[in-house]
Structure 1
């Protein structure tokens, strides 16, 4: 190459670093060329112009670059298939987590258009995956209501993928295209199959949507497989199967009849999970509910219209503000339960809005207005006086799923966590008020009975809130001179240091006597309970508060109960349940844990509830001469058998082992060493990894419904060792 050619116009496709002759002027020219990539054609740079911004600021589009952002990318692709199903095209979606870290989404919908888009001259597939704000969801009539509306989902995932392959069945053919970090081109895959590490050649002059095969006439669908780019996502980012299954289940609930299959090939054995529900959001509410029912699942639905001004592209190519009329459909399923926890899930065009928005505000507004009106009308029967309902009183024990469908909703950001369309609030409030008022005015026997129970529940919640606020100060930690408001049977500790204080809930007065001698009275308090306390999973809040043992525990801990529970006001850093090592002791421990789970759950969630582990056996090993005998404690039948076998093998003599039936059989020194002294004791921390699953287990084992519990006992009988039964 001559020197004058080096000074000529730059053509990005030339590989100057290889071809330039080594003279001084050309070396200067080669230095200036480093600001421009020599791997791209000029045409290609124009395509990557928008996607490069996505790679530089991924958090703007997917929230983060950890596992949460990785999962958001999956749902950008899946939601496109869901939008097709929502529009009535395709009833099955398959998601595959491949062993090589890639994800594949398959559907049997209309397929991405493969013809040429006239404005860009590119195929529909390339437009969708390389152009930001391009798609069929901008009021073109392809979708009346969809989850995607910004037209950036597929292109963002493409930009953040090391490799993306798309196949489209349409017009009797299978069309295919591949991308490398947003660039269309070809991968030279080997015998091992597709890989992001395969040699890649970008298209130089024009892109090619190649024909990869043939399909039967009328067969349509889309298959997208992509490998997340390790340059973008953090090292520990991974696809979370449980989160994917929860979202797939949720989507299947929201679109009755839609089947979603998730195949995980990453483990030793492939796992397949399928979801398809015909009951819609009513079935969703039943799935979310963990407590006993106060009402059946109620459905509230209606429609509303509103106008808004939006920019519309005119024939001259200019954006003109135009007033358009919108239609909004509202569908709500709700039920009240016996608990106090509130679960409200909101969706816009089946996209979850975990942070709410105008539709949630309208729902709460309409709900509160109707319930307040009904309470005022029944004030004499309910004995409410001048007290006024709060929103939390109405929401206590409520499980609800709220969905709205409208064209082009306004979201805050691409993550779509908050709905911002202002007119939706009044429409949802109006629909809820009208439908719920009709339910309360119904003359049907079931409706009258259930609405009366709802009013009783919300008024009881209001009275409990007011009572808790009135007595909040008296529930704070008292010193020794102020302990008159605490239970008389409480043997409190002297220290006021909450972090280092412990409350032992002990079974029976006999154990209390021994525990008093065994404890460190500076930091350890004792509260005895008589036998088995009330099963609060079955009982009402009033019955629970009226029970002497439950009330004593709540009063002693001093942080309130239910919605009013204030963890910062708890009087003890640890609560330790110390019951006998037998079946009755296990039952008492379960009843106490049920009380904590239902009414003082933050104590469990913060890891401040423990179960003591007292020994089952005491073995005195005889030593020769004047050497003191050795005492060994064992905590299970298996450990006891292993210890005695080892002693016998070594020829050690030991007396008749002592089997402890209860804590009262130990003397103070034994109880201190084995169960109460922090230097030697063993504690089992109680935790809740999944609150919803734990709630279902508590309802199964401790609830009112006997049949499922009986079935569980029968099915689990084979896994229970007879030696574990103290009978």
Structure 2
């Protein structure tokens, strides 16, 4: 075994202590940056920026700062300014280093461990500033404190002096904080400017303005009274960009901002606190770590509201730090939500004793919630702080939510009482729709025609039972179906006709959608279920092709069908398996074709028709006048339909994708939702851009 190991490792000697490596100080960060910032691409670079910004926000949380500025410089550097207390400049006795040099060069050094400086903060591990310093080709710090500006610079974590501007200036190593110009005694603050080290970060790594603005807006919501200024000085066509955020309404205003639909109740604020004990290692007088019981206080602040829609928007935070993957605080919130709603639904008799209890999905349907907790030294899973692990948070949040939500749902005041009833009925309706959908799946789903003969009678199926090549054409109207039957390849092309315009599922409930014959037939034929239970691997057809007339009504039908797929069969869109057929608008019949030239030319728009006619005139070719214009699929014969729209060798298909689900949801809601006023504004606003000559009246 030893010989085999030596062969595999390429080592002919023994494994001894000389083979071991010890990474000292910031060397470990430069060797394994992914452990500290997640990656060395744009995401990791943005994480570095927010490590510095979060230190300034922590000052705001303590009431010592009300303005933070972020500047993206033209030379690739990033600067963060605040008017907080400033990093301590005095000497720390054990290390002999100034406070600035200590926090910038030593891992796990900061003012957030002992509890004397910050009761709650985003930075916890004391590695944020030092990690950014280690990964910067140059970092400059300026601290206004005690009537003067104190300055210090670093090169890849090593303190010293630069002879000029930028990371390529001559550098001389040397420790110590330099005292600069005098400032007024009352002026305090910190300025940190860093140039990312391109030896570490990828060449294309950059901070995206959109993501930066979203995070700044979010932070301003979470810290009422804090002004966050973003200035982007990087070269661009529109010049420097600047925007400020300040929201005094806090997370209540944030909840309204996030909500995608109309409310069915006012924003509810649930606030409370609880205490718990935690065993933590503490340094004693001899410098030894000994376990000690520490009393902690956890403050809960939650804003939520139910809306008329079906989507759920939940944001969770710990000390202003987003926890996109949740954690114990979110688990406690959801558990209390379900338990309290179930209790009140039974008490009010909206749910009978024989009815199934609601689930988390029912309670969250249409809910927008912002869940925040604040506590000293929370336990996170990793430096990126995406999941809260403090166990006590679950119980405390659950108690606060249960108490506050019960108070709202049992209120005797007229308006809150009406809203509470509406919320309970909405949640109960979501549960009934879920059960109806489950029943529908159990009754209707099938995998092949051999397993179940209950497919719609109007389906014209294909012979191939596999899904590698199979295609389902959803055809507008029975008239086009007859021609399509003759034009298709029956080996792999199936046809499902629909009568006119299907139900607008953006406005209808799930139960109404399932009752609609056309919608139910499409879901049944595809055979993969609907909604959250949709299983794309169970779909009977590889492609779904929407084949409608090339007119306004055909476009409307495609829009309605896409709404159905977007709401209830979205994985098909995300996988790129939904297409729109592109039938031609015109057919040009050439009366004197040249040798080996097609006698018929198809065009797909008026502009293309005019262009082709011009080309034919220039070539000396004549055509039969008037040019044939197709007003519907039924006007084509089978050969024409196959050649232009159905035969894979000649046809044109337009793939429908969902690249930006959030943006797509907004468009679908605008064009197909319940609210008429925004749609009217959209139509009126776009009326001036309409070419009146194209209206077929």
TM-score for the superposition, normalised by structure 1: 0.87
1:179 and 2:154 are equivalent in the alignment = yes
In structure 1, C-alpha distance between the alignment counterparts of 2:324 and 2:686, rounded to whole Å: 37
In structure 1, C-alpha distance between the alignment counterparts of 2:146 and 2:358, rounded to whole Å: 61
**1:371-390 map, 5 Å:** 371-379=341-349, 381-383=350-352, 385-390=354-359
Q: 1:340 to 1:108 in 2, by over 3 A?
A: same
Match of 1:659 among 629, 634, 637: 629
1:71 and 2:46 are equivalent in the alignment = yes
Shift of residue 627, structure 1, vs aligned partner: 6.7
**Structure 1: runs of 5 or more not aligned:** 1-34, 36-45
1:711 and 2:681 are equivalent in the alignment = yes
2:468 is paired with a residue of what secondary structure? helix
1:274 corresponds in structure 2 to 244
1:85 and 2:60 are equivalent in the alignment = yes
Q: Is the 8 A contact 2:275 2:295 kept in 1?
A: yes
In structure 2, C-alpha distance between the alignment counterparts of 1:361 and 1:527, rounded to whole Å: 45
2:300 corresponds in structure 1 to 330
After TM superposition, the runs of 4+ consecutive aligned structure 1 residues lying more than 6 A away are 625-628
Count the aligned residue pairs: 674
Instruction: Describe the superposition over 1:234-263 as per-residue Cα deviations: whole angstroms up to 9, x where unpaired.
Output: 344332333222222221221223232333
In structure 2, C-alpha distance between the alignment counterparts of 1:260 and 1:677, rounded to whole Å: 58
**1:216-365 map, 5 Å:** 216-264=184-232, 265-269=234-238, 270-365=240-335
1:197 corresponds in structure 2 to 168
2:101 corresponds in structure 1 to 126
Instruction: Describe the superposition over 1:286-310 as per-residue Cα deviations: whole angstroms up to 9, x where unpaired.
Output: 3333244443332222111112222
Match of 1:415 among 380, 384, 390: 384
Match of 2:427 among 454, 458, 461: 458
Shift of residue 315, structure 1, vs aligned partner: 4.2
1:145 and 2:114 are equivalent in the alignment = no
2:274 is paired with a residue of what secondary structure? strand
In structure 2, C-alpha distance between the alignment counterparts of 1:460 and 1:299, rounded to whole Å: 24
In structure 1, C-alpha distance between the alignment counterparts of 2:544 and 2:309, rounded to whole Å: 23
Shift of residue 103, structure 1, vs aligned partner: 1.8
Shift of residue 626, structure 1, vs aligned partner: 8.0
Q: Is the 8 A contact 1:342 1:397 kept in 2?
A: yes
Shift of residue 430, structure 1, vs aligned partner: 0.3
Q: Is the 8 A contact 2:107 2:126 kept in 1?
A: yes
1:597 corresponds in structure 2 to 566
Shift of residue 230, structure 1, vs aligned partner: 2.1
Which deviates further from its counterpart, 602-611 or 274-283? 274-283
Q: Is the 8 A contact 1:477 1:571 kept in 2?
A: no
Q: Is the 8 A contact 2:277 2:296 kept in 1?
A: yes
In structure 1, C-alpha distance between the alignment counterparts of 2:471 and 2:73, rounded to whole Å: 50
**1:499-578 map, 5 Å:** 499-578=468-547
Q: Is the 8 A contact 1:145 1:349 kept in 2?
A: yes
2:13 corresponds in structure 1 to none
Instruction: Describe the superposition over 1:465-499 as per-residue Cα deviations: whole angstroms up to 9, x where unpaired.
Output: 44444554655444344553222222222222223
Q: Is the 8 A contact 1:105 1:224 kept in 2?
A: yes
Instruction: Describe the superposition over 1:551-597 as per-residue Cα deviations: whole angstroms up to 9, x where unpaired.
Output: 22222222222222222222222122222222222222222212221
TM-score for the superposition, normalised by structure 2: 0.91
In structure 1, C-alpha distance between the alignment counterparts of 2:266 and 2:193, rounded to whole Å: 43
Q: 1:154 to 1:515 in 2, by over 3 A?
A: same
In structure 2, C-alpha distance between the alignment counterparts of 1:221 and 1:233, rounded to whole Å: 29
Q: Is the 8 A contact 1:338 1:540 kept in 2?
A: no
In structure 1, C-alpha distance between the alignment counterparts of 2:687 and 2:29, rounded to whole Å: 56
1:622 is paired with a residue of what secondary structure? coil
In structure 2, C-alpha distance between the alignment counterparts of 1:523 and 1:154, rounded to whole Å: 61
Q: Is the 8 A contact 1:384 1:459 kept in 2?
A: no
Shift of residue 185, structure 1, vs aligned partner: 1.0
Match of 2:650 among 656, 680, 700: 680
2:3 corresponds in structure 1 to none
In structure 2, C-alpha distance between the alignment counterparts of 1:383 and 1:661, rounded to whole Å: 55
1:50 is paired with a residue of what secondary structure? coil
2:604 corresponds in structure 1 to 635
Q: Is the 8 A contact 1:623 1:629 kept in 2?
A: no
Shift of residue 134, structure 1, vs aligned partner: 1.2
In structure 1, C-alpha distance between the alignment counterparts of 2:266 and 2:512, rounded to whole Å: 23
**Structure 2: runs of 5 or more not aligned:** 1-17
- Alignment RMSD (CA, Å): 2.5
